[in-house]
Amino acid sequence: MLPIVSITLFLPLLGALLIMALRKTSTQAIHAIGIITSGLTLLGSLWMWSRGVNETGFAQLEELDWMPSIGAAYRVGVDGISLPLVLLTTLLFFLTFIYSAKVKERPQAFVVLMLLLETAAIGTFTALDAILFYVFFEVSLVSMYFMIAGWGHEDRQRAALMFFIYTLLGSLPLLLAILGLYLGSEPHTFDMRVWINNPPLDGLAAMLALIAMLFTFAVKTPVFPFHTWLPAAHVQAPAAGSVILAGVMLKFGTYGLVRFALQMTPDAFRDAGIVILIFGVVAALYGAFAALAQSDIKRLIAYTSVNHMGYVIVGVAIAALALDPAIRATALDGSVLQMVSHGLVTGALFFLVGMLQDRAHTREMDAFGGLLKITPILGWSFVLAAFASLGLPGLAHFPAEFQIFLVTLQVEPAAVIVILGIVITAGLYLRAIGKVFLGEPNEKWLAMSDLNTREVLTLAPLLILIIVVGIAPALVLDMIHKTTAALQF
């Protein structure tokens, strides 16, 4: 059997090394290598999809000794929770490379960093060894720091520094929890499968480990009040960086919440379930209200991410609190699907804002008006993505959020107040569309050009998938459900 997980994982790294080896190459050739490498990676992940996942446990395992003396090994594999996220990752990176083919400023370093980031992201989702997971988790941080610091907007140095220090501070407690789980497992191992099948800690130790992990993933997700790095990083990051940050890297937080917190300290998670649920509800509502207050369109989308990730937290908390396995499975189905949908929708929205900014060099909503007449393709694409983001039935977010709300109503009816978030997001998106795309065209932008072929190619797959997932969520849900239905915790 071809080790397709490892091939997919390390292809981008190989591409990066190739570019570094070719010191003097034309900008086009560098971007071509980036697009081809990420395209092959996408094919690799599709191949993984065609191999499918197992009813129980992880599929497509690939193992290699690494540091046997301390029980660490190279272990990768996928299940129904990680595989959809891998697919999302490879797709978004591929599209980002197409979109970024316009980058003229130090293209070599840009593409190398993006490819490094892609390997780190795939690695985070496929790692089955805690050290390996932590390595990829941190490498992604370093690459993103250089991405924001090197190609960001006006205030990039400060934003990049804030992002780096904030998220490093966030990720170090995870190291503590990993050490605790390691020392608690007998014999000592970093094998995540062993920790999942046989949670090594209980009682107070498990609760402390859980708190450490929750802190890490709350910063990463981000959950109010640990979200302050997000708007700064998003606004300053280049469009490609924003897409990856929101579409892929925020999922590290929610994926970790399920994989580590829920699966490795399940009892403690159940005990703390209500608190986590409250954090989720507050994050969802806070994100929506904060988004309402923004006039910068990129900040607005950044805050709706806080809102959407809040729903994921609610879903995971409900899964822990529910006693009926069917409800649990549905709650997790909804949460994982929500991660995928958010990647597609927010990815599209950040691309669109990037394209808008390339043309207008501003992100202030009030500066625009009537763009639907001037740039219809851009305008209608934005309308579609925005409607998806506010949870319109038939588009990607609806099936996910519907499932989450449904189980919330069954398990903790009071928490359904979170549904208010939908109303607010609907309001703020309609306001944004009204200001930017409707009304009388602003004279200043009459000469604005509509999307070119490269931009259409970037957007089309996302918009199509938003509709496909909205109409036929079973395409993704079947894979997710296979794993969630069998989860024991």
Partner 1 sequence: MADDLALLIPEIIVLLTIVFALVAEMLHLPRIALAVSVTGLLLAAGMTLPLLGADTSVFGGTYRIDTLSVWAKLILLPATALSILLARAELGGSDREGTVYVLICLVTLGSLVLASAGDTMLLVLGVLLSGLGSFALVAYPRDDAATEAAMKFFVFGSVTGAIMIFGLSYWFGGSGSTLLSELSLLDTKPVIAAVGLIAVIVGLGYKAALVPFHFWAPDAYEGAPVSIAAYMSVVPKIGAIFAFAQVVRDLPMDTHWPLVIAVVSVLTMTYGYLAALAQNNVVRLLAYSSIAQAGYFLLGIVAVGANPLAFVSIIVFAAAYAAMNLGAFAVLMRVGRTLDAFSGIGRRKVVMGIAMVVFLLSLAGIPPLAGFVGKFLLFGAAMDAGFTWLTVIAILNSVLSLAVYLRIVVPMYQQPDDATAPAQTAAPKPEPLITLVWIVAFVFTLGIGLAAQPILGQIS
Which residues here bind partner 1, judged by CB under 8 A? 65-70, 106, 109, 131, 134-135, 138-139, 142, 146, 149-150, 157, 161, 164-165, 168-169, 172-173, 175-176, 179-180, 182-183
Tell me whether residue 123 or residue 399 sits nearer to partner 1 (CB atom). 123
Q: How far is the CB of 138 from partner 1 (least distance, A)?
A: 5
Q: Which is nearer to partner 1, 182 or 255 (CB)?
A: 182
H or E element, residue 59: strand 59-67
Q: What is the CA radius of gyration of the chain?
A: 21
Nearer to partner 1, 157 or 295 (CB): 157
CA distance 428 to 448: 25
- The CB-of-153 to partner 1 minimum distance in angstroms stands at 14
- The distance of closest approach from Cβ of residue 182 to partner 1 in the complex, given in angstroms and rounded to an integer, is 7
User: How many other CB atoms are found less than 10 A from the CB of residue 47?
Assistant: 15
Full DSSP string of 253-274: HHHHIIIIIIHHSHHHHHHTHH
What phi, psi does 110 have (nearest 5°)? -60, -50
CA 481 – CA 82 distance, rounded (Å) = 12
One-letter identity of residue 159: A
Amino acid found at 77: G
In terms of CB distance, is 68 or 413 closer to partner 1? Answer: 68
Least distance between partner 1 and beta carbon 257 (Å): 21
CB of 317 to partner 1, least distance (A): 26
- Residue number, 96 or 167, with CB nearest to partner 1: 167
- Residue among 238 and 287 whose Cβ is closer to partner 1: 238
Pair of tokens at residue 450: 């509509």
Residue 173 beta carbon to partner 1: minimum distance, rounded to whole angstroms: 7
Q: Is the dihedral angle over the CA atoms 105, 94, 468, 83 positive or is it negative?
A: negative
Comparison of 149 and 243: residue with beta carbon closer to partner 1: 149
Which residues, 6+ apart, have CB-to-CB distance to 440 below 8 Å? Answer: 369, 370
Which candidate, 146, 294, 282, places its Cα nearest to that of 227? Answer: 282
Nearest distance from C-beta of residue 135 to partner 1, angstroms? 4
Query: Distance between CA atoms of 212 and 218, rounded to whole angstroms?
Result: 10
Whose structure tokens read 């008006």?
369
